[in-house]
């Protein structure tokens, strides 16, 4: 990706890796020089996820595969309401509302 600055100097266009390489070479110690690959470009960074992050990532992929709405459950509730068999436990409802209120 080229970065273009017009009117600032006579350097011309410098891409990101060239800029890092030019900025870094002057102050580079011998220990740091082995991070530059033989072609003169910087070595790529690597990322290693922790065990917790890996677990969260796998759980996220499982969740994304699930449908947003459990249609079987919706049908059961619809049928129960239509038949007049759907009962609401008001104590449980009130308890759940109170516990949700404590989150905020």
Give the pair of three-digit tokens for residue 63.
């969740």
CB 19 within 8 A of CB 3: yes
pLDDT of residue 9: 47
Cβ-based neighbours of 89, under 8 Å, separated by 6 or more: none
Nearest CA to 17 among 32, 33, 31, 3?
3
Q: How far apart are CA 3 and CA 102, in angstroms?
A: 51
One digit per residue, the tens of pLDDT, for the chain of length 104 reads 555 555 544 445 555 555 555 555 555 554 444 555 555 667 788 888 888 888 898 899 888 888 888 899 999 999 999 999 999 999 999 999 999 988 87
| Residue 24 counted as domain residue | yes
Domain that residue 26 falls in: 2-35
| Residue 59 counted as domain residue | no
Cα separations in angstroms, 23 against 9, 14, 73:
16, 12, 61
| Residue 15 counted as domain residue | yes
| Residue 19 counted as domain residue | yes
Cβ-based neighbours of 22, under 8 Å, separated by 6 or more: 14
Q: What is the DSSP string of 27-55?
A: T--TTGGGGB-TTSSBPPP-----HHHHH
Q: How many domains does the chain have?
A: 2
């Amino acid at each position: 990706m080229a970065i273009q600055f017009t009117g600032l100097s006579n350097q011309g266009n410098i891409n990101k890796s060239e800029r890092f390489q030019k900025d870094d070479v002057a102050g580079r110690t011998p220990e740091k020089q082995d991070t530059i690959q033989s072609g003169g470009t910087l070595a790529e960074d690597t990322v290693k996820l922790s065990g917790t992050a890996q677990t969260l990532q796998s759980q996220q992929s499982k969740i994304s595969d699930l449908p947003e709405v459990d249609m079987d459950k919706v049908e059961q509730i619809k049928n129960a309401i239509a038949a007049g068999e759907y009962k609401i436990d008001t104590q449980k409802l009130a308890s759940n509302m109170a516990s949700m209120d404590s989150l905020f």
